[in-house]
Structure 1
Amino acid sequence: MPANPNKFVWYELMTSDVDAAEAFYKSVVGWNSEPWGGPDMRYIIMKAGETGVAGMMATPKEAEGMKPAWVGYIYADNVDAATEGVRKGGGNVLREPDDIPDVGRFSVVADPQGAVFMLITPKGEEGAPVPPMTPGHIGWHELMATEWETAFYFYSNQFGWTKDEPMDMGPMGVYQLFRTGGDNAVGGMMTKPAQIEAPYWLYYFNVEDIDKATERALENKGQVIMGPMQVPGGSWVCQCIDPQGALFALVGARK
């Protein structure tokens, strides 16, 4: 069991070109990679050093037409019960609980406003915790919600998440930091601007040098849609789109 149950424990990219995405993120984030799975399903483990942090796979047939996207897995003691909890809480179940041999049991769900995430009860023990901002790991989780107060109530009710400090973003409203357990905030929620069509989760990958990582994203045919900009605490962030169209973000120091 994780030290902080109900936290994000894995991240996955569903994309239209696995080979191109693998090369892109290895260059930009500094990951190395390792193939996993059998011949009937290609799956790439992306690793920070020797630690697996994310996976990549081709968009499955049942999701054909879906834009390439990153999705996060939230730990559940019992995936079946947690999935039913999401359903009863007003969310949608996009894929009923199923088993991945030697990995665990998972489901695909969406919160009541439509932001997609996954639930998983993994087999085996969790690895040792890593210090915040360790390069190659995920440093922040951001929910752009239709209405953040209602979204927070859902996640708090489902997973016991708690509020940290609220940040006044002026005309953009409140950016509410949250904790999934432990002593530090791990993400934020805000009400999305009207021009953003649908709610989504955005994941920030830690990098050593934000400017060099941003340059690598551009050199490898990614797009930068915001930043780099400094955020409270001194880090710098940059929001990007990979060459296949998946949204992601970077966080790191400016050197």
Structure 2
Amino acid sequence: MAMTHGSFVWYELMTTDTAAAERFYTSVIGWSAKDAGMPGMNYTLLSAGDAQIAGLMAQPEEVRASGAPPAWLGYILVDDVDGCASEIATKGGKVHRQPDDIPGVGRFAVVADPHGAIFCLFKGRGEPPADRPAPGTPGTPGWHELMAGDGEQAFAFYSDIFGWTKADAMDMGPMGIYQIFAIDGVPAGGIMTKPEQVPVPNWGYYFNVEAIDAAIERVNAGGGQIINGPMEVPGGSWIVQGFDPQGGYFCLVAPKR
């Protein structure tokens, strides 16, 4: 997928125990890990082969003090971070962290949609990496899923801000409509109104693994918890959702059991 306005380009885990989280995710997903060498902070880069996929850092003190659990954040590429953050605020969203620079990397902001689901905006310096792993490569992102306050309203919001378009929609019966969205014409994720048992609207990110049953064994061995699945989804892939040992919500997808 081309890295254009509206594309997910980075994933970041803020957690309470970075060393334990690194052990868990490198085992479960197969990432390699190395320190980013950022002055003044510890930030771990997680890679699939030569491709950097995600980052890992300690929760900022103010986030931990608020009682927020460890969580994955998705970064969405935009042409203008400041302008997009302002637009989100005027359309009912919230800016949790005003646009700021990451020295030598780019500019970002932490924002939320009108129902409170948090994500990040990002614009990098220089050109993005030319070579991206093929879709489905273990360790790469495979799907993005929003449990929204209101699925229809959420799709309208993200479509307006990022230009996402509707792909297939699945009728989930009492659970409502699962609307698949496309980025540059390529299906990239789904949006649905959250079930009552999901406490707050949130984004979930599915990372590719080779086989779901083996990944479940690694999750259990590493002290994580599977809360849903394994479940086969349309197209033949298998998914699970769970919590890591620190309580961070994560998802996995694989082409086989």
TM-score bracket relative to the smaller structure = over 0.9
Which runs of 5 or more residues in structure 2 are unaligned? none
- In structure 1, the residue matched to 2:102 is 100
- Aligned partner of 2:244 among 232, 235, 242: 242
CA distance in 1, matches of 2:227, 2:216: 11
1:44 is aligned to 2:47? no
1:141 is aligned to 2:144? yes
- In structure 2, the residue matched to 1:225 is 227
1:232 shift after superposition? 0.5
CA distance in 2, matches of 1:54, 1:114: 23
For the residue of structure 2 that corresponds to 1:63, the secondary structure is: helix
1:189 is aligned to 2:194? no
TM-score of the aligned structures, taking structure 2 as reference length: 0.96
Give the RMSD, CA atoms, in angstroms: 1.1
1:122-201 superposed matches below 5 A = 122-127=124-129, 128-181=131-184, 183-201=185-203
- In structure 2, the residue matched to 1:19 is 19
CA displacement, residues 39-90 of structure 1 (integer Å, 9 cap, x when unaligned): 6310000000011000000001231232100000000111001110111111
Which runs of 5 or more residues in structure 1 are unaligned? none
For 1:111, give the aligned amino acid. Answer: D
Contact 2:225–2:242 (CA<8 Å) still a contact in 1? yes
CA distance in 1, matches of 2:245, 2:152: 33
1:4 shift after superposition? 3.2
Which moves more between the two structures, 205-214 or 30-39? 30-39
CA displacement, residues 117-164 of structure 1 (integer Å, 9 cap, x when unaligned): 000101122222332211100000000001100000100010111000
Identity, in percent, stands at 54
The aligned length equals 253
TM-score of the aligned structures, taking structure 1 as reference length: 0.96
CA distance in 1, matches of 2:87, 2:153: 16
CA distance in 2, matches of 1:195, 1:238: 17
1:25-36 superposed matches below 5 A = 25-36=25-36
- In structure 2, the residue matched to 1:82 is 84
CA displacement, residues 183-227 of structure 1 (integer Å, 9 cap, x when unaligned): 321000011111211100000000011110111001100000000
